[in-house]
Structure 1
Amino acid sequence: MPGAASACARSTCWRKPRSRWKSPARISLIRKETASVADLTLAPRTPLGHALPEQHNIGGFALTEVVDTALGSLTVRAGQSAAVADRAAAAGLPLPGPACWLPGAPYAAFWLAQDSWMIEAPFASHEDIHRHLRGLFGDTASITEQTDGWARFDIRGEHLPALFERLCPVDLRGLAPGHATRTVVEHIGCYLIWREPGRISVIGPRSSAAALWHALETAARALA
């Protein structure tokens, strides 16, 4: 229709083109009167989003958000199993078998899959854990920094089997300290690490930290 085409043309003519670089917000960080740069000091946050790690005591259980551990995954490259084993032994780095966690100083580790482990170390001395592990293993293994991808919560108490039977399909009554396994808590894939009598770590995705913490609190309250 001629009238419709004319109206469409008029509408197009009155539209003012916008530059794709134009922003409605002022983004300059320079104070023009003093030419000084604004202070952009960053403050670290825990996986739960706070300045300090959370700690709750519920009944006979103590729940703690742990942020002092660096994590890195180590996977043996093809044909390098013996070389990795030799270098790990020389560094005092344990490489446990399936479903196991082994402590050490400064490194601890738990099994992920065949020829693959998650390595733990103190964050204060091994913040750049990738650099430390790369220096130990060179081209014999693939190293991936994992620290910021995970949240860790430690649970202490005398009745941990009763707590975890409400959380995941792992029967702790038939297991012992040193056991490590992958499981599911509230539909969240996690690692369960039994570190010592009365203490278990749950390591889950950082993006699900709040949901995981809530699940642990809820189960603890049910037994309080």
Structure 2
Amino acid sequence: MPDLSPLCATGGSAPAEARHGALSIRENPELALASVARRRDAAQPSPLGLSLPAPGGWTAAGEVSAFWTGPDQWMIEGHGLADSDFAARVAADCPDASVTEQTDGFVAFEIRSSAGERPITDLLAKLVNLDPQRLQPGSAARTGLEHLGVFVIRRAPDRLAVIGMRSAAGSLWHALETAISRQVEVAA
């Protein structure tokens, strides 16, 4: 039997990470994802006790959070739960909803600022076609980043997550890390 070792989406044995000035970016391989779709005439699901957000929203409670992805559809995040059968846990809690495992289909990058909200707001203004003032903490949006479709989640004033297709992890990492490094050059 060959000795198999898991790899992160960016191809390394450890998550990709970088720091430029006040901003840091880190691949988050510990994030579990499951999509939830409410079935016709079914009650509003409440996976793992979460109140699901309205359009453009993101909500969190303990180790789980959710963001809206479309009418009667949400993505449920399990923080630190990628090694578990997260979708089965969500499905057991939402028997009247359609639940699909998404963990291995996506890659998540967490961006943090050590200097408060301003570096994140400045980065958003250059990174995606979204008004940074409308993407306040507790909100999420689907948008394009360069040639890639992504979800952008404002987790806190100084924290931002970008979730994209795992098959484009290298391109997404390059786009994000380059934008962060250029922002530092402009600020200097």
TM-score clears 0.5: yes
- Name which structure has the greater RCO, CA cutoff 8 Å, separation 6+: 2
Question: Residue 170 of structure 2 aligns to a residue in which SS?
Answer: helix
Which one has the largest radius of gyration?
1
Aligned match of 2:139: 179
Q: Does 1:153 align with 2:102?
A: no
Q: Is the 8 A contact 2:35 2:76 kept in 1?
A: yes
Q: Is the 8 A contact 2:36 2:73 kept in 1?
A: yes
Report the CA distance between 1:162 and its aligned residue: 1.6
Aligned match of 1:97: 54
Report the CA distance between 1:125 and its aligned residue: 7.6
Structure 1, unaligned runs of 5 or more: 1-38
Aligned match of 1:26: none
Aligned match of 1:143: 99
Query: How far apart, in 1, do the equivalents of 2:140 and 2:153 lie?
Result: 5
Report the CA distance between 1:122 and its aligned residue: 3.2
Question: Residue 94 of structure 2 aligns to a residue in which SS?
Answer: helix
Q: CA RMSD in A?
A: 1.6
| Worse-matched range after superposition: 125-134 or 168-177 | 125-134
User: Residues 174, 151 of structure 1: CA spacing in aligned structure 2 closer, same or farther, 3 A cutoff?
Assistant: same
Q: Is the 8 A contact 1:108 1:119 kept in 2?
A: yes
Correspondence for 1:192 among 152, 168, 171: 152
Q: Does 1:201 align with 2:173?
A: no
Q: Does 1:130 align with 2:78?
A: no
Q: Does 1:53 align with 2:53?
A: no
Aligned match of 2:40: 78
Report the CA distance between 1:168 and its aligned residue: 1.1
Per-residue displacement from partner, 1:31-61 (whole Å, max 9, x unpaired)?
xxxxxxxx32321110101111011001221
Query: How far apart, in 1, do the equivalents of 2:12 and 2:100 lie?
Result: 26
Q: TM-score, normalised by structure 2?
A: 0.90
Higher helix share: 1
User: Residues 168, 120 of structure 1: CA spacing in aligned structure 2 closer, same or farther, 3 A cutoff?
Assistant: same
Q: Does 1:108 align with 2:65?
A: yes
Q: Percent identity?
A: 37
Q: Which amino acid aligns with 1:216?
A: L
Report the CA distance between 1:174 and its aligned residue: 3.7
Q: Which amino acid aligns with 1:144?
A: T
Runs of 4+ in structure 1 off by over 4 angstroms are: none
Higher strand share: 2
Report the CA distance between 1:223 and its aligned residue: 1.6
What is the aligned residue count? 180
Q: Which amino acid aligns with 1:63?
A: I
Query: How far apart, in 1, do the equivalents of 2:172 and 2:183 lie?
Result: 17
Question: Residue 165 of structure 1 aligns to a residue in which SS?
Answer: helix
Q: Is the 8 A contact 1:75 1:117 kept in 2?
A: yes
Q: TM-score, normalised by structure 1?
A: 0.76
Structure 2, unaligned runs of 5 or more: none
